[in-house]
Amino acid sequence: MPLALLALAVGAFGLGTTEFVMMGLLPDVADDLHVSIPTAGHLVSAYALGVVIGAPLLAAVTARLSRRTVLISLMGLFVAGNALSAFAPGHEWLLAARFLSGLPHGAFFGVGAVVATGMVAPERKARSVSLMFLGLTVANVAGVPMATLMGQHLGWRATFLGVSAIGLAAIASLALLIPHDHTHAPAGGLRGELAALRSLPVWLALGTTVAGFGALFSAYSYITPMLTDAAGYAGSRVTLLLALFGVGATIGNLLGGRLADHAMRPTLFGGLASVVVVLALFPLLMDAEWSAAVAVTLLGVAAFVTGSPLQLMVMEKASAAPSLASSANQAAFNLANAGGAWIGGLALGAGFGVTSPAVAGAGLAVLGLAVAGVAYTVDRRRAPQPAGRARIVAAGASQQTEPLHR
């Protein structure tokens, strides 16, 4: 694997850290800016909104630029957004800075995935994507806890300055390690990128992402009350369980990349089926501390096994102009975040029990399997028949139309 993938992973580490660290800093930010915690929670939504809007928009407006230039520019925007967050004088300014920080997130992962697969042999494409995503999963294991600890001891503003430093390191790595000859501008430009989004298989792949990862966030958004109210964990121990989820996600990400290089669709179907099973068993597994720890880890493994195959499938369906479609898939991940949390909240609010969001998530995973099955059927119908088989079919048809002679 080329060393340039390390540069992409460093950028992914910074993006993953700043995306999730706000959840741990909400009380500190709310207290410092004199707003309520629910109001401070809008800072999480502002980042997600920036991802959804910025992913397709920035991928589209940079369609004629070198992908190496695009990646460096996106990280520059990321550094600016986090630096502005550190010096924001009030809640409204911080809200705007968080939105700005989210804008480059999806486009970086989308364009980065295209660059990563372009630097390796065809049989290593999924693995290259998983190595870039490794920065995101490691951020959940190490980056977010360290950044949260920094914010609690040095102030939340120091956290965003630290994340800005990670962004600067990513810029230096990208400039040093990403080769120029693998990052030329797409030949089709914006028109070619937009044309790729008119493909039904692309939209089916995006729909699989929304449903499949919506299943994860339906449960994960409410994992704390499940662990405390159902499994009996003390609130102070939940952080350790969340780290276990990050470990599982890292394992699943690497495993999914390796398996998808050998059989992409079976890996995708197997991962989604595993999510169904794990989430359906959550009400049982949350009855004891040890089984709850196993459930959280398995959820991370099962969900992130599907990450690389989903990204690769979208790119393959838009093979002529993959940058915009690849970035749109990152927007789909964040739509899954918002939609899954909403559906899980509906189940919880309806009084079905503290583990009901997991059961709702299992239903979403079944929907993801169904959409993936429709995508597979469409691909089979559109696939050209091998020449030999076509001649056999044609010959058989002609024999059936010939009159019988004795």
CATH number of the domain within which 166 lies:
1.20.1250.20
Q: Are residues 52 and 178 in the same domain?
A: yes
Boundary (domain end) residue, out of 170, 185, 200: 185
In a domain, 394, yes or no: no
Q: Compute the average pLDDT of residues 280-292.
A: 92
What was the pLDDT predicted at 192? 63
Q: What is the mean pLDDT of the chain?
A: 84
* Share above pLDDT 70 across residues of the chain, in percent, rounded to a whole number: 88
In a domain, 141, yes or no: yes
In a domain, 72, yes or no: yes
Most confident residue range from 45-59, 137-151, 257-271, 385-399:
257-271
Q: Are residues 195 and 164 in the same domain?
A: no
What was the pLDDT predicted at 263? 87
In a domain, 390, yes or no: no
In a domain, 362, yes or no: yes
Q: Per mean pLDDT, which range of 205-219, 235-249, 288-302 is the poorest?
A: 235-249
Per the listing, tokens 């800093």 go with: 25
Q: Are residues 109 and 119 in the same domain?
A: yes
Which has more confidence, 400 or 3?
3
pLDDT band for position 405 (cuts 50, 70, 90): very low
Q: Are residues 129 and 235 in the same domain?
A: no
What was the pLDDT predicted at 272? 94
pLDDT above 80: residue 13: yes
| Residue ranges making up the domain that contains 6 | 1-185
pTM of this structure:
0.79
What was the pLDDT predicted at 342? 85
pLDDT in tens, 28-71: 888 888 888 677 778 877 888 888 888 888 888 887 788 888 99
In a domain, 257, yes or no: yes
Task: Please give the Cα distance from 278 to 148 (Å, whole number).
Answer: 29
pLDDT above 60: residue 17: yes
In a domain, 402, yes or no: no
Which has more confidence, 221 or 336?
336
Contact residues for 240 (Cβ-Cβ < 8 A; gap 6+): none
- The pairs formed by 225-228 with CB atoms below 8 angstroms and a separation of 24 or more are 225/354, 226/282, 226/286, 226/292, 226/354, 226/355, 226/357, 226/358, 227/286, 227/292, 227/296
Q: Are residues 190 and 131 in the same domain?
A: no
* Share above pLDDT 90 across residues of the chain, in percent, rounded to a whole number: 31
pLDDT in tens, 127-171: 888 888 888 888 878 887 888 788 888 888 999 999 999 999 999
Q: How many domains does the chain have?
A: 2
pLDDT in tens, 355-365: 899 999 999 99
Q: Are residues 203 and 156 in the same domain?
A: no
Boundary (domain end) residue, out of 185, 219, 254: 185
Boundary (domain end) residue, out of 152, 185, 218: 185
Residue 187: burial class (beta carbons within 10 Å; 0-12, 13-18, 19+): exposed
What was the pLDDT predicted at 299? 93
Q: Are residues 247 and 116 in the same domain?
A: no
What was the pLDDT predicted at 104? 93
Q: Are residues 256 and 339 in the same domain?
A: yes
Q: Are residues 191 and 171 in the same domain?
A: no
Q: Are residues 180 and 243 in the same domain?
A: no
Q: Is the dihedral of CA 321, 110, 203, 46 positive or negative?
A: negative
In a domain, 399, yes or no: no
Q: Are residues 320 and 269 in the same domain?
A: yes
Q: Are residues 21 and 155 in the same domain?
A: yes
Most confident residue range from 52-66, 285-299, 379-393:
285-299
pLDDT band for position 73 (cuts 50, 70, 90): very high
